[in-house]
């Protein structure tokens, strides 16, 4: 059912709409539009200069128009006179194929042509830090094993409860909040949903967490590894595939050992086959590889994979099957683009279904303690450049994600790597100045 945003504004007392799209690097771009103008914007879109964002465009390109998807509209719980709405990018009356939300919608549609409906949930971890980014915000949060720390989570009750109250108000079905494995780190979980809706919620969640943190004089970061000695920010993704009506879980089969159907195993097989290359999407920044290739942290474990293995209910592998009818991909981190994460999972999984891919041997061991015994397990990329090269060489995944998207993403991300590689670091000064 279509939503008239002008009517929505009248009924909800909204004065402004934030028409928002997410660029290739995961940054949210928006224009604040008065409600009096939203009817025109809903029909024609808000205009942007694409080159001014992280899209592969030039100043000579035509205007980019962000067409609001009214079904995604969310009234800001902390500022009721503003509503956020996710938008789809068009240019010269055609879809901007490199735009992340468009990329995801194409993959959702492709799954739909096969009578499939992908449902996902995410666990978006974040740190609450000082505004200057120098350290965590709670000086008393110093425990060696701070995970689930009752006192520490209550010292941040004002922030956590406010965010959770908003999710309850929005009908997201939040069901638990906790202090995570690193000092100053938190996680908040809400119910799974269709992949596009999960991506929209994930995008809004990051905006909401940062906004509430700032309101309380703090700063929230989803950076994968902001502190060398602490566990990094993951963004674990739980995946299941349903029939088109969303009433029957095609991954569930009680006759199978882990309750994961043959189709579920084939979908997982696609994830395993493309893991090295999809890391360029799930782990998209230089800092990402300081999380998945990290040494032991203060708590005793990184909680991140560095090899391409899967298992049952065991958190030391890249993929685990924690219960019937779904699996958890533990590779993504806090920097992952909410739309591209969902898109690449669907792209790899559908390829696995089409080719009846085998996920390979299941390892029911502690990979942190016994991983050295697995001699043939492929390693995840050691850095962003390796991941980009793997993605570039994966013709199947590039085609599934879209050639225009893949070309734009690789171009901008390789430029980012080159900028990083040319940057003189403090480590270089400390270790090579006297050579």
Residue 185 β-bridge partners: 127
Q: What is the pLDDT of residues 74-118, one digit of tens each?
A: 999 999 999 999 999 999 999 999 999 999 999 999 999 999 999
Structure tokens at 77: 């719980």
Q: What is the pLDDT of residue 432?
A: 96
Please give the average per-residue pLDDT across 181-208, as a whole number: 98
Strand blocks (E) in 35-97: 46-48, 64-68, 74-75, 82-91, 94-95
Q: What is the pLDDT of residue 295?
A: 85
Report CA 150 to chain centroid distance, whole Å: 27
Please give the average per-residue pLDDT across 262-290, as a whole number: 98
Count the neighbouring beta carbons within 10 Å of the beta carbon of residue 433.
Answer: 7
Mean pLDDT of the chain: 97
Count the neighbouring beta carbons within 10 Å of the beta carbon of residue 379.
Answer: 13
**Rounded-to-integer distance, Cα 105 and Cα 347, Å:** 11
Please answer whether residues 184 and 298 qualify as being in contact, where contact means their C-beta atoms are separated by less than 8 angstroms: no
CB within 8 Å of 142: residues ≥ 6 apart: 183
Q: For residue 1, is pLDDT > 80?
A: no
Report CA 100 to chain centroid distance, whole Å: 12
Q: What is the pLDDT of residue 67?
A: 98
**Rounded-to-integer distance, Cα 17 and Cα 67, Å:** 12
Q: Please report how many Cα atoms fall inside a 13 Å half-sphere around the Cα of residue 102, on the Cβ side.
A: 22
Please give the average per-residue pLDDT across 222-234, as a whole number: 97
Structure tokens at 132: 């200057």
Please give the average per-residue pLDDT across 147-156, as a whole number: 98
**Rounded-to-integer distance, Cα 9 and Cα 320, Å:** 44
**Rounded-to-integer distance, Cα 404 and Cα 98, Å:** 6
Q: Given pLDDT bands bounded at 50, 70 and 90, which one contains residue 314?
A: very high
Q: What is the pLDDT of residue 290?
A: 96
**Rounded-to-integer distance, Cα 330 and Cα 177, Å:** 19
Q: Given pLDDT bands bounded at 50, 70 and 90, which one contains residue 376?
A: confident
% helix, strand, coil for the chain, step of 5: 40, 20, 40
Q: What is the pLDDT of residue 39?
A: 97
SS3 track for the chain:
CCCCHHHHHHHHCCCEEEEEEECCCCCEEEEEEEHHHHHHHHHHCEEECHHHCCCCCCCCCCCEEEEECHHHCEECCCCCCEEEEEEEEEECCEECCCCHHHHHHHHHHHHHHCCEEEEEEEEECEEEECCCCCCECCCCCCCCCCCCCHHHHHHCHHHHHHHHHHHHHHCCCEEEEEECCCCCEEEEEECCEEHHHHHHHHHHHHHHHHHHHHHCCCEEECCCCCCCCCCCCEEEEEEEEEECCCCCECCECCCCCCCECHHHHHHHHHHHHCHHHHHHHHCCCHHHHHHHCCCCCCCCCCCCCCECCEECCCCCCCEECCCCCCEEECCCECCCCHHHHHHHHHHHHHHHHHCCCCCCCECCCCHHHHHHHCCCCCECCCCHHHHHHHHHCCHHHHHHHCHHHHHHHHHHHHHHHHHHHCCCCHHHHHHHCCC
Q: For residue 182, is pLDDT > 70?
A: yes
Please give the average per-residue pLDDT across 177-184, as a whole number: 98
Strand blocks (E) in 279-331: 310-311, 319-320, 327-329
Pairing of strands 126-129, 185-190: antiparallel
């Amino acid at each position: 059912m279509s939503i008239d945003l002008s009517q929505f504004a009248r009924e909800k007392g909204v004065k402004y709409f934030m028409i928002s799209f997410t660029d290739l690097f995961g940054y949210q771009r928006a224009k604040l539009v008065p409600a009096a103008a939203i009817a025109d914007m809903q029909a024609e879109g808000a205009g942007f200069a694409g080159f001014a964002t992280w899209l592969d465009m030039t100043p000579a390109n035509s205007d980019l128009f962000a067409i609001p998807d009214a079904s995604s509209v969310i009234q800001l719980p902390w500022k009721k006179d503003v509503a956020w709405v996710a938008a789809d990018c068009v240019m010269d009356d055609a879809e901007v194929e490199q735009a992340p939300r468009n990329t995801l919608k194409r993959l959702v549609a492709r799954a739909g042509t096969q009578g499939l409906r992908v449902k996902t949930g995410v666990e978006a971890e974040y740190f609450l830090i000082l505004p200057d980014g120098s350290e965590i915000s709670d000086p008393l949060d110093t425990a060696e094993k701070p995970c689930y720390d009752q006192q520490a989570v209550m010292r941040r009750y004002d922030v956590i409860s406010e965010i959770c109250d908003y999710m309850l108000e929005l009908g997201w079905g939040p069901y638990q909040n906790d202090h995570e494995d690193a000092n100053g780190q938190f996680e908040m979980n809400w119910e799974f949903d269709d992949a596009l809706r999960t991506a929209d919620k994930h995008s809004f969640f990051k905006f909401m967490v940062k906004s509430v943190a700032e309101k309380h004089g703090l700063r929230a970061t989803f950076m994968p590894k902001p502190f060398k000695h602490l566990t990094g920010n993951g963004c674990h993704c739980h995946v299941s595939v349903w029939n088109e009506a969303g009433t029957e879980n095609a991954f569930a089969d009680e006759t199978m050992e882990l309750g994961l159907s043959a189709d579920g195993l084939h979908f997982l097989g696609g994830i395993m086959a493309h893991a090295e290359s999809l890391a360029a999407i799930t782990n998209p920044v230089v800092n990402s590889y300081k999380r998945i290739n990290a040494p032991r942290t203060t708590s005793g474990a990184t909680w991140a994979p560095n090899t391409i293995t899967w298992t049952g209910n065991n958190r030391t592998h890249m993929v685990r099957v924690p219960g019937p009818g779904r699996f958890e991909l533990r590779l993504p981190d806090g920097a992952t683009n909410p739309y591209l994460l969902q898109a690449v999972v669907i792209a790899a999984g559908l390829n696995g279904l089409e080719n009846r891919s085998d996920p390979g041997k299941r390892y029911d061991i502690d990979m942190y303690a016994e991983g050295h015994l697995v001699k043939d397990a492929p390693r995840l990329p050691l850095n962003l450049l390796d991941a980009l090269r793997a993605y570039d060489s994966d013709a199947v995944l590039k085609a599934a994600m879209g050639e225009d998207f893949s070309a734009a993403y690789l171009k901008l991300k390789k430029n980012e790597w080159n900028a990083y590689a040319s940057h003189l670091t403090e480590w270089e000064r400390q270790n090579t100045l006297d050579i």
